[in-house]
Amino acid sequence: MADKPTSGEILGVPYNFERPSISRLLSAHWEPGEGMLVEKPFGIGYTLNLANWRSWIVLAVAGILLWQQEQSPSSPDETEDEPVEVIVDEDED
């Protein structure tokens, strides 16, 4: 039986299941001259290229959204909601 390929592309999405090395992991996230997204060094899909300035903006926005979510009250006990009156108008034809 033929061996299955460990890297390639399926429906335009790259995959790589070769055993990762430290140098390959580090170099995959820092590729000057490449776009914002680069192929993952291990697994399926793409990852951020930290050599591209746009990736840092994405990380900053994600960090701000995470911080904002952590600051907002999440449990019903912490919120001060007032009761809401709902009026249902049933038309009888």
Whether residue 92 is contained in a domain is answered as: no
Whether residue 41 is contained in a domain is answered as: yes
Whether residue 86 is contained in a domain is answered as: no
Q: Please check the confidence at residue 77 and state whether its pLDDT lies above 80.
A: no
22-76 per-position pLDDT tens digit: 888 888 889 899 899 999 989 999 999 999 999 999 999 999 999 999 998 765 5
Whether residue 66 is contained in a domain is answered as: no
Whether residue 23 is contained in a domain is answered as: yes
Whether residue 2 is contained in a domain is answered as: no
Q: Which residue has the tokens 């006990």?
A: 77
> DSSP string of the chain?
-PPPPSEEEETTEEEE-SPP-HHHHHHHT--TTS-SEEE-SSEESEEE-TTSHHHHHHHHHHHHHHHHHHHS--STTTS-PPP----------
Enclosing domain of residue 28: 7-61
Q: How many domains does the chain have?
A: 1
pTM of the model: 0.61
- Contacts for 86-92: CB closer than 8 Å, 24+ residues apart: none
Q: How far apart are CA 81 and CA 75, in angstroms?
A: 12
Whether residue 70 is contained in a domain is answered as: no
